[in-house]
Amino acid sequence: MPSPVGHLLGGAAVYLAASRKEDRSRFTLGAVLFGSILPDFDFVPGLFVGKLSDYHHGISHSLTFAVLFGAWFFVVAKCVHKDIAGKAAVLAGLGYVSHVILDFVGVHEGTRGVPIFWPLSDHKFGLNLRVLGYFYYSDHGLWSVIRWNNVTVLLRELFVIGTPVLLLFRRERRAAQQSKHTSEAKRQTATKIMGACNE
């Protein structure tokens, strides 16, 4: 299963790929990134029973919860940013979906997948595409993630998920520069035409 860093990169990829420049805001970005890590907060009940894995990768890792999160966020966004509430809620829901999908394709031996189709099925599904590593944690607490194996997993995630993020960001910058050059060329052409008309 991916690390929180991998999930945040997945959320960033969703934000860059699924939003138009005019629809973007810090509010929406925050919502997408929050959605991309929210399913893993299902470890919190495990803190109270002394076993982090008891509730981890449960029903919060389903497409149903992604829809519920998007709907909840729409209500919140309507109170804060009414003009972008719908688009922000859809993107937040997609950020949540990115987490579920990454966990679905990041299953390894000894892990059971995620209940992606809950409540239609309680069965845990998953694929091992062998492109992501296994981010280790244990029931001994949050400090259990600090280990050498996890460093190699993080580097792998930076390459596999971070590369599309960089490519999307680069495409955006090129499009912005191209738009700027086009606008400048149009302005110069309009100035020349106006000058010719005035002569």
In total, the chain counts a number of residues equal to: 199
33-67 per-residue burial string, b: 16 or more CB within 10 A, e: under 16: bbbbbbbbebbeeeeeeeebeebbbbebbbbbbbe
Amino acid 150: pLDDT:
80
Residue spans of the domains in the chain: they are 4-137+145-198
Q: Which amino acid makes up residue 102?
A: L
- According to DSSP, the residues that pair with 138 across neighbouring strands are 141
Radius of gyration of the CA atoms of the chain, in A: 22
Digit-coded pLDDT (tens) for 38-78: 999 988 877 777 776 777 788 999 999 999 999 999 999 99
Q: Model pTM greater than 0.75?
A: yes
Angle at 32 between CA 121 and CA 143, to 5 degrees: 80
Amino acid 173: pLDDT:
83
Distance, CA of 37 to CA of 103 (rounded, Å):
11
**Between 144 and 157, where is the model more confident?**
157
Distance, CA of 57 to CA of 118 (rounded, Å):
12
Q: Estimate to the nearest angstrom the gap between the alpha carbon of 76 and the chain centroid.
A: 19
Distance, CA of 78 to CA of 88 (rounded, Å):
10
The full DSSP string for 20-43 is -GGG--HHHHHHHHHHHHGGGGGG
Q: What percent of the chain has pLDDT over 70?
A: 84
Q: What percent of the chain has pLDDT over 90?
A: 46
Amino acid 135: pLDDT:
75
**Between 51 and 88, where is the model more confident?**
88
Report the mean per-residue pLDDT for the chain.
Answer: 85
